[in-house]
Chain A
Amino acid sequence: MGFSLGVHIILAVIGIALPVIIVTAEIAGIKKKDPHYTRIAKRLTTMLIVFFAIGTASGTLVALELLFLWPKFMVLVGHVAILPLYIEVFAFFLEAVFLGVYVYSWDKFENRYMHALTGVFVALGAVLSAVFITMLNAFMNTPVGFNIPEYIKTGIIADVQPLAVLATPSTLVEVAHVVSTSYFAGGFIFMLYFAYRILRSTGDERLHYRKGLNIAFGLTFIATFFAVITGILSISGLYSFQPEKYAAMELDMYPQTHAPELLGGFYSNGTIKGVIASIPNLQSILATGTANGSVPGLSSFPKSTWPPLIVHFMFDTIVGLGFGFGLVMLAIFIMLILKMHPFDRKWLLILLMVAAVVAVFLLELGWATAEIGRQPWIVYNVLLVSQAANTSPSIIPLAIFFVAFYIVVIPFTVFVIKKLLKDRPISSEQV
C-alpha cells in the first residue's frame, strides 16, 4: 500500500501541476502570439495524457487497495467519511471529461481562449481531487462526525454527521499544505525536464525550453512560499490536535515551557543524545506565540501510543530542506529581477535538476512523516492500524508483484514519452 501510494503521489502531483503549466503556456501563446508557448502546450499535452492514463489506473489501484487491505477502516469511512471520497469522483470526472475535450479538440475552437478554458477545467478537476482526498486524510488525523466514545466502547457507529468530515479541525491547513506542496513538487519535476532539455539543445529549441522553464519556475516559486507557510501552520495544528505526533517530531520527552528547538538528536535509553544545536525558547514561540508557552511531552502519553521517534529526524530534514528551497527560489527570483539571466547559466540548470530530485524526495518524506507520525493509529485515537489491516497471507505475493509491476511500468512510461516527443521535432509541431 505504501509503495503504491508513494508512486501514485508522484503521478498525482504531475497531474496537478502539468495542466496549470499547459494552460499558462497556451494562454501566453495566444496573448503574445508566440508559437513557442503554443508548442510547449501541445507537447506537454502528450505527456499529460500518458501520465493521466497511468495516474488514473494507479489511483484505481489505490482505491481498491484501500478496500482490500484496510477493510475495517473502509467500513468506518463508508459509514462516516465517504462524502469527500464520493465528491472526489465528480472532480475526477470533471478532469477526465475536459481532458478528453482539451486533448482531442484542439482545432475545434475558433476562439482559442475557449480551448484554454477547457484546460482550466482539467486543472480545476485535478486540484479538487487532491482537496477532497486530503479531507479524508484530515479525518484520519482529526476524526469527527460520529459518536467516538460509543464506537471505541462497542464498535457501533452512531450519531453520524456526514458533513462534519468536510471541515475537521485540521482540514483547512492540511488541504492548503497538500495543494501547495503538490504544485511545488510537480513544478520542480517540469523544471527538471526543461533544465535538462535546455542543456541538451541549441538555438530556437533552446529558447522553446527556456520559455517552458520560465512558466514552471513561476508556478513553483509561488508554490514554494505557500508550502513553507502552510508547513509551519501544520506544525502548529499538530500541537493542538495530535500532541503525541507533535512531541515525537520535536523530540519533546516532557511537557515544558521555554521549550528549545532541537536540531538533530535521538532518543536512547530514556535520554536524548546527539543534539546538534538547541535554540532556546524557539519551539515555544513557534507553537504558542510566547517564550513561556507550554508544549506537550511524550511522557504524558502511554508508550504504546508513541509514534516511531525517527519522525524527529525526518521532520528536521523537511524543515532544513524546506527553508533551503525557499532561499534557492528567492535567489533565482532576485536574479531574474536583476536581469542576470539565471537560466542561461549551466551551473544553475544543474542545480535545478538536482533540486528537483530532492523536491520529490521532500514530497515523499513529508507524506511519510505525516503517516508514520500518526502511528500506531490509522484513525487517530479511534482505530489502530493493527485493527484495520487485512492480515490474510494471500496478500503478500500480490504486494511483491505490485512493486515489481510499478518498477517496470514507470520507467517504461518515461521511455515511451521520450520516444513520442523524440519522434516529433519541435519545429514540426503545428501551431
Chain B
Amino acid sequence: MSLMFSINYFIFSIFFTLFVLEVGIALTMLLEYEKYKDSLKRFLMPLWEVTGTFAIFYIVNLEAVVPSLLLLIGTIFVVPLLVAAIFFILRNAFLSYSEYMGDKVSEKRYLHIYAIATIIVAFIAISVLDSGISGIAISASSYSINLLRMFANSFNILMFLGIALLAAFLAAVFFRIKEYKWFPILSAVLGVIAIAIAVHGSLNYLFDSAFDIGLPYLLGLLALLAVSLFMHYKGNKYAKYIAVLWFFLAINFFGFMQGPYILGGTVNTNNYVATGAMAFYINAVTLIGGAILAASLIYMVYISYIKKTPKTNSNY
C-alpha cells in the first residue's frame, strides 16, 4: 500500500474507532439509559464534534488521495451516502438539542432519536464500506450498483453484526457496564467470529494473508484482546484504553491485509493514487495539520477530562 493510502487508512482507523465507540454509546443509551446516561454524556459531549469532523477529514483526504476514483465512488454510492448524511444531520441535531434540555423527558427522547440515527448511519456507512471492499453488488464497468444486494448479502450482514457486537464490547468495557457479567467477553468473541466468517466467505485472499504474513500481528491482536478482557474483569481502570487501542489496531490490521485492493481484490488503488507535486503537498499538509490537530486534541482531553474545576474564578 502506498504511503498516501496508508495515511488515509490511518485517518479512517481513528474515525472508525471513535465512531464505533459512539455506536456502542448509542446502543447503551437505548438499553441502559437511566443508569449510564451521565457517564455516557460526560464522555460524548466534548467529543461528538470531533468524530463528525473526522468523517469529513476522511472524505476530503480520500478525494485528495485517489481523485481518479471519485467518478466511480461518486456515481455508485450517491443514494446510500446521501441518505446516511440525512441521518447524520439528525444525529448532530438531536444530540445538540438534548444538551441544554431542562426537562428529562425531552432529553431522553432526543437522546434516543440521536442513538437510533447514529446506528442507522453506522449501518449504511458500514454497508457502503463493505461493498467497496468486497465489490458485492457493484458493477465497476457500468458504474452501477444493486442497492438491495448491497445491504442484504451475507458478508455485509455478518460484518455489521460483528462490528455492532464489538461496539457493544467497547462500550461495556469503556463505561464499566456491570449489568451483564459475561457480555463483554461474549460480544468480543462473537464479534470477531462473525467478522472472520464474513471475510472467509467473501474475501478469501484477505483471510489467507491474515493467516500467512499477518499471523504474528493477528496473534498479537488476539493477545491484546485477552489482556483488555482480563483487565476489565480484574476491575483495572486502564482496561478501556487497551480495548480502544485493540480496536484501532484491529482496523489497521484489516486495512493493511486488504490493501492496496478494493472491490473484492479487482482494483489496485496504487494505480489511482495521486503522485508528484500534489502528493508531496498533501503529505506535508497532513503532517503539519495532523500535528496541530494532535496538539489540540491533547489540550481538549486535558481540559475536558483531566483538569479539575477550580473553586473560584479570579476575574469575578
The residues of A with any CB-CB pair to B shorter than 8 Å are: 30, 33, 46, 49-50, 52-54, 56-61, 63-65, 67-69, 71-72, 74-75, 77-80, 82-83, 85-90, 92-94, 96-101, 103-105, 107-113, 160-163, 390, 392, 394-395, 398, 401-402, 405, 409, 412-413, 416, 420, 423-424, 431
Residues of A near B310 (CB, < 8 A) are: 107-110
Contact with A along B47-80 (1 / 0, CB 8 A): 1011011011101110110111011011101110
Known contacts A57-B92, A61-B89, A108-B307: does B276 contact A86 (CB below 8 Å)? Answer: no
Count the B residues whose beta carbon is within 8 Å of the partner chain — how many?
A: 69
Residues of A near B59 (CB, < 8 A) are: 60, 63-64, 67
Q: What distance in Å separates the Cβ of B263 from its nearest Cβ neighbour in chain A?
A: 17
CA distance A223 to B67 in the complex (A): 37
Residues of B near A64 (CB, < 8 A) are: 59, 81-82, 85
Residues of A near B182 (CB, < 8 A) are: none
Known contacts A71-B74, A87-B285, A394-B79: does B56 contact A100 (CB below 8 Å)? Answer: no
Residues of B near A398 (CB, < 8 A) are: 78-79, 82-83
The residues of B with any CB-CB pair to A shorter than 8 Å are: 45-47, 49-50, 52-53, 55-57, 59-61, 63-64, 66-68, 70-71, 73-75, 77-79, 81-83, 85-86, 88-89, 91-93, 95-97, 99-103, 274, 276-278, 281-282, 285, 289, 292-293, 296-297, 299-300, 303-304, 307-310, 312-316
CA distance A78 to B68 in the complex (A): 8
Residues of A near B304 (CB, < 8 A) are: 100-101, 104-105
Known contacts A50-B96, A105-B304, A112-B313: does B61 contact A86 (CB below 8 Å)? Answer: yes
Known contacts A78-B64, A101-B300, A398-B82: does B56 contact A113 (CB below 8 Å)? Answer: no
* Nearest B-chain residue to A110, judged by Cβ: B310
Known contacts A53-B92, A162-B281: does B67 contact A96 (CB below 8 Å)? Answer: no
* Nearest A-chain residue to B292, judged by Cβ: A90
Which 8 pairs show the lowest CB-CB distances between chains A and B? A78-B67, A53-B96, A71-B74, A90-B289, A57-B89, A100-B46, A68-B78, A53-B92
Partner among A56, A71, A85 whose Cβ is within 8 Å of the Cβ of B49: A56
Residues of B near A110 (CB, < 8 A) are: 310, 312-314
Known contacts A71-B74, A83-B285: does B313 contact A162 (CB below 8 Å)? Answer: no
A405 with B82: CB separation less than 8 A: no
CA distance A429 to B27 in the complex (A): 34
Partner among B56, B78, B281, B292 whose Cβ is within 8 Å of the Cβ of A390: B78
Partner among B47, B63, B312 whose Cβ is within 8 Å of the Cβ of A67: B63
Residues of B near A72 (CB, < 8 A) are: 71
Known contacts A83-B281, A416-B97: does B316 contact A97 (CB below 8 Å)? Answer: no
A78 with B82: CB separation less than 8 A: no
